[in-house]
């Protein structure tokens, strides 16, 4: 019986090393994914790109079709190098989609400062919550169901607000989305730390979407509170 303890310790150490490797690779790939995101955003702003220039309904369906197509491919190819290629392609596409709100922000006299503040605030939220999940190693899996319900509610509200724009509802959605995706950071990083997620490509996809959505909604709130000069 005593000989089992060294084996158990070795298994625990192996598991810990594996999860540390997944977490490290996730952070590295997340950092790399920001390069095509910035490139896509810069290109979109320069070209005046807008996927939603035509029919709102068709444009929305087109966006969801492309986005979910990328995500389906990433998950299907998560164990190969093609998964990384698809992930970087997805982040470039999402960078293009950022160009609309970035152009709107740049229309403010303090536009660059608003974008920088949103980026800094997003980074502060991410590093704080990721640090909590990593250092405490607390399992935040129990909030998953609440986050899923909240996500469904916000998506429905966003679709409704897209067709029937109501400024007060839009601000409420952004505030709720920041809280929701902050919760998702805790949830997603906790899954990596505690062994619920063992693939760094799908882990990066989840965390990237958390960070992306926090940035977009934080920038939207800052623009609304700043006013246009």
Is 26 a domain residue? yes
Select the more confidently predicted residue: 10 or 140: 140
Of 33-37, 147-151, 158-162, which gets the smallest average pLDDT? 158-162
User: pLDDT tens digit string along 174-207?
Assistant: 999 999 999 999 999 999 998 889 999 999 999 9
Residues 10-47 as b or e (16 or more Cβ within 10 Å = b): eeeeeeeeebeebbebbbebbeebeebbeebbeebbee
- Residue 78's alpha-carbon distances to 64, 70, 169, 220, in angstroms, are 20, 12, 37, 32
Q: Please report whether residue 168 resides in a domain.
A: yes
Predicted confidence band of residue 161 (pLDDT cuts 50, 70, 90): confident
Number of domains into which the chain is organized: 1
Place 221 in a pLDDT band, splitting at 50, 70 and 90: very high
Residue 9 pLDDT: 61
Its pTM stands at 0.89
* Statement: residue 208 has pLDDT above 80: yes
Is 22 a domain residue? Answer: yes
Q: What is the pLDDT of residue 95?
A: 96
- Residue 163's pLDDT band (boundaries 50, 70, 90)? confident
**Residue 162 domain boundaries:** 10-35+100-226
- Residue 54 placed within a domain: no
Least confident of 69-83, 87-101, 152-166: 152-166
pLDDT tens, 35-81?
Answer: 999 999 999 999 988 877 666 678 878 888 999 999 999 999 999 99
* Chain mean pLDDT for the chain: 89
Examine residue 49 and state whether it is found in any structural domain, yes or no.
no
Pair 70, 90: CB distance under 8 Å: yes
Does residue 207 lie in a domain region? yes
Residue corresponding to tokens 């809280």? 179
Is 122 inside any structural domain? yes
Q: Is residue 118 part of a domain?
A: yes
């Amino acid at each position: 019986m005593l000989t089992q303890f060294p084996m158990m310790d070795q298994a625990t150490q192996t598991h810990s090393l594996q999860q540390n490797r997944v977490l490290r690779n996730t952070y590295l790939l997340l950092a790399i994914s920001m390069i095509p995101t910035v490139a896509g955003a810069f290109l979109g702003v320069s070209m005046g790109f807008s996927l939603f220039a035509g029919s709102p309904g068709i444009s929305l369906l087109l966006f969801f079709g492309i986005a979910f197509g990328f995500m389906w491919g990433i998950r299907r190819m998560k164990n190969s190098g093609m998964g990384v290629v698809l992930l970087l392609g997805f982040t470039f596409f999402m960078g293009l989609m950022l160009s609309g709100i970035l152009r709107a922000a740049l229309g403010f006299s303090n536009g660059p400062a608003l974008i920088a503040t949103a980026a800094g605030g997003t980074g502060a939220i991410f590093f704080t919550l990721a640090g909590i999940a990593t250092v405490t190693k607390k399992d935040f899996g129990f909030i998953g169901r609440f986050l899923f319900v909240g996500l469904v509610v916000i998506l429905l509200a966003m679709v409704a607000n897209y067709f029937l724009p109501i400024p007060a509802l839009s601000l409420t959605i952004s505030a709720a989305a920041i809280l929701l995706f902050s919760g998702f950071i805790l949830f997603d990083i906790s899954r990596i730390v505690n062994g619920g997620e063992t693939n760094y490509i799908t882990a990066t996809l989840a965390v990237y979407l958390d960070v992306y959505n926090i940035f977009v909604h934080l920038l939207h709130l800052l623009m609304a509170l700043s006013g246009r000069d």
